């Protein structure tokens, strides 16, 4: 291989950050190479944080699957393309639902699209997800879910029997959540242009006038609670696709969380914020909290509930369960002095029976999620770039 060329993208990245490198050289020149100087390491870390805090850019020429995975690539896409164009005070907090005020009434408004494959899986189907997902986005915003829309994109040739089955699930899920589907839309695309059936739902819910929730309100001393074992939905789907040839008795955790949320809020449990831990899992939510509130989130690994089968599959595939999606679990940040009340309220409901305190909010280092590992060490839990991928090394 004598012919040689450069990787243009890499050279460009180096040029773009040339100024950082010059500062870095200047900093390092003050110390001998290879020596350990905490203050010097700290300078480098500060510079990295500055680089991370820069305006996100989408460098790719095409959309990749990573842009839809809920991690760093999704965050860059949303901020650099959508937020940059649509920017307004209601959108800017990027919460699960926006707060819209009409004639003095505060409403929560949200939308979500569902493209799961396979459409049917142990524990539910795309219909359950489409209703529960939107109901949950409203519920965790502190709203009482009211009305939903449903938009269907169907592929030519899709079996009507399957559509009936999906719609029946949606009806049952809507009834269980106490909401109605009040408007809808249908489009059919040519064979091969969609994966059977895609669904979009949007929803509005009524917000309690006296309650302000939001992840930016998390403060040092608060407790971090999950409502049950993590990662069951994501792992069920990954295994159900069949490519990995792994068998496990796992079912999706998809469920409507409106009652659980109501129970929690009624208990005067000092709730500051709630999120449903979907794409990107619990780790992604906690990173959002750390960044929005400018706090550190400290998680105890051994306190995070994970079912044995989820753990087994995660170990086999080299995936961290903290990044695997749930569809019926919420993460809540509560006033530290009200931890017991919050936990008791969650546990009093069947969907929160296995709720657990997994960590707390601290003040430093701001913007980071730290994990006290089961082994007794400490590390960072960062946002993933894209989906967690099975790995062999």
Partner 1 sequence: MCLGIPGEVIEILPESPDLAKVDVSGVKRAINIGLLTDDPPQPGDWVLIHVGFALSKIDEEEAQAAMNFLEGIGQAYEDEIEALLSSQIDEQAPIDEKG
Partner 2 sequence: MRFVDEYRDADKARALSAKIVGLCEPGRQYKFMEVCGGHTHTIYKHGLEDYLPESITLVHGPGCPVCVIPMGRVDDAIALAEQPDVIMTSFGDMMRVPGGRGSFFDSKAAGTDIRMVYSPLDALKIARQNPDKHVVFMAIGFETTAPSTAMTALRAEAEGIENFSIFCNHVTIIPAIKAILDSPDLRLDGFIGPGHVSTVIGCRPYEFIAAEYDKPLVTAGFEPLDILQSVYMLLLQLSEGRSEVENQYGRVVPWDGNMVALRAVEQVMELRPYFEWRGLGFISHSALRMKEHFARYDAERHFSLPGVRVADPKACQCGEVLKGVLKPWECKVFGTACTPETPIGTCMVSSEGACAAYYNFGRFSRERVRQASQPQPVTIEAGARKA
The footprint of partner 1 (CB under 8 A) covers: 244-249, 308-309, 311-313, 315-316, 318, 391-393
Is 11 one of the binding residues for partner 2 (CB under 8 A)?
yes
Angle subtended by helix axes 160-177 and 126-140, to nearest 10: 30
Phi, psi (5° rounding) for residue 24? -60, -50
Smallest separation, CB 297 to partner 2 (Å):
10
CA-to-CA dists, residue 225 to 31, 212, 233, 389, angstroms: 44, 19, 19, 27
Stretch that binds partner 2, among 54-62, 77-85, 87-95, 190-198 (CB under 8 A): 54-62
Place of tokens 């609670």: 225
- Residue pair 70/280 in contact by the 8 Å Cβ criterion: yes
Which residue from 161, 190, 209, 391 is in contact with partner 2, where contact means CB under 8 A?
Answer: 391
Is 294 one of the binding residues for partner 2 (CB under 8 A)?
no
Is 193 one of the binding residues for partner 2 (CB under 8 A)?
no
Identify the three-state secondary structure at position 195: coil
Which residue from 1, 29, 102, 161 is in contact with partner 2, where contact means CB under 8 A?
Answer: 1
Smallest separation, CB 362 to partner 1 (Å):
15
Is 28 one of the binding residues for partner 2 (CB under 8 A)?
yes
Tell which positions 55-74 bind partner 2, by CB under 8 A.
59-66, 72-73
Identify the three-state secondary structure at position 24: helix
Task: Name the binder of 4 from partner 2, partner 1, none, CB < 5-8 A by kind.
Answer: partner 2
Phi, psi (5° rounding) for residue 343? -65, -45
Tell which positions 298-327 bind partner 2, by CB under 8 A.
298, 300, 308, 311-312, 315, 317
Which residue from 202, 296, 304, 334 is in contact with partner 2, where contact means CB under 8 A?
Answer: 296
Which residue from 7, 102, 160, 161 is in contact with partner 2, where contact means CB under 8 A?
Answer: 7
Tell me how far apart the alpha carbons of residues 81 and 324 are, in angstroms, rounded to a whole number: 26
Is 51 one of the binding residues for partner 2 (CB under 8 A)?
yes
Tell me how far apart the alpha carbons of residues 276 and 269 are, in angstroms, rounded to a whole number: 18
Identify the three-state secondary structure at position 225: strand
Residue with smaller CB distance to partner 1, 18 or 308: 308
Tell me how far apart the alpha carbons of residues 364 and 293 are, in angstroms, rounded to a whole number: 12
How many CB atoms are closer than 10 A to CB 68? 16
Is 353 one of the binding residues for partner 2 (CB under 8 A)?
no
- Residue pair 321/248 in contact by the 8 Å Cβ criterion: no
Task: Name the binder of 219 from partner 1, partner 2, none, CB < 5-8 A by kind.
Answer: none
């Amino acid at each position: 291989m004598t012919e040689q060329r450069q990787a243009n993208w890499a050279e460009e990245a180096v040029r773009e950050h040339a100024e950082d490198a010059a500062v870095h050289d200047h900093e390092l020149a003050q110390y001998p190479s290879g020596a350990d100087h905490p203050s010097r390491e700290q300078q480098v870390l500060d510079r990295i944080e500055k680089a991370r805090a820069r305006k996100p850019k989408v460098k790719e020429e095409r959309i990749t699957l990573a842009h839809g995975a809920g991690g760093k690539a999704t965050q860059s896409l949303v901020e650099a393309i959508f937020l940059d164009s649509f920017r307004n005070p209601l959108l800017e907090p990027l919460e699960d639902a926006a707060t819209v005020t009409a004639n003095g009434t505060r409403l929560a408004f949200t939308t979500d699209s569902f493209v799961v494959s396979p459409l049917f899986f142990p524990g539910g189907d795309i219909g359950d997800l489409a209703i529960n997902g939107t109901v949950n986005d409203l519920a965790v915003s502190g709203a009482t879910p009211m009305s939903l829309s449903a938009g269907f994109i169907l592929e030519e040739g899709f079996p009507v029997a399957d559509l009936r089955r999906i719609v029946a699930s949606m009806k049952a899920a809507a009834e269980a959540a106490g909401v109605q589907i009040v408007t809808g839309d249908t489009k059919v695309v040519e064979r091969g242009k969609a994966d059977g059936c895609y669904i979009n739902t949007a929803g509005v819910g009524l917000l309690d006038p006296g309650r302000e929730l939001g992840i930016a309100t998390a403060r040092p001393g608060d407790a971090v609670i999950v409502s049950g074992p993590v990662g069951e939905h994501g792992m069920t789907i990954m295994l159900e696709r069949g490519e990995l040839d792994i068998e496990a008795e796992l079912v999706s955790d998809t469920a409507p969380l409106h009652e659980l949320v109501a129970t929690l809020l009624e208990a005067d449990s000092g709730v500051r914020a709630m999120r449903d831990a979907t794409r990107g899992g619990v780790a992604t939510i906690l990173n959002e909290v750390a960044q929005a509130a400018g706090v550190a989130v400290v998680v105890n690994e051994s306190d995070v509930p994970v079912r044995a089968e989820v753990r087994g599959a995660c170990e086999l595939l080299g995936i961290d369960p903290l990044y695997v999606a749930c569809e019926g679990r919420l993460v809540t940040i509560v006033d530290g002095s009200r931890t017991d009340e919050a936990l008791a309220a969650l546990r009093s409901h069947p969907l929160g029976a296995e709720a657990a305190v997994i960590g707390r909010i601290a003040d430093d280092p701001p913007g980071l999620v730290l994990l006290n590992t089961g082994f007794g060490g400490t590390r960072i839990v960062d946002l993933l770039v894209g989906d967690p991928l099975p790995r062999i090394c």
